[in-house]
Amino acid sequence: MPPAALQCMNIRARKAVLRAARLVVTPRHGCAYVPRQFLWRTPQVLYIALCRKFARAPLPHMFIRFIIHAKDQNSGRRRGLFQAMSDLEESGRLLPHEQEQYDAIYNWFRENLKKPRSFARSSRPHARNVALSWYKDSATAYIAKMHDVSRILDARGIAVEVLHVERPGYIVYEDAHQVAAEPFKETAT
Q: What percent of the chain has pLDDT over 70?
A: 62
| pLDDT per residue as tens digits for the range 60-106 | 679 999 999 999 887 788 999 999 999 999 999 999 999 999 999 99
Task: Summarize pLDDT for 8-19 with one digit per residue, the tens.
Answer: 555 555 555 555
Among left, alpha and beta (phi > 0; psi -120 to 50; other), residue 30 is: left
* Residue of 144, 153, 151 whose CA lies nearest to 113: 144
User: What single-letter DSSP state applies at residue 168?
Assistant: -
The whole-model pTM stands at: 0.66
Residue 47 reports pLDDT greater than 60: no
Extents of the domains making up the chain: 4-54, 63-182
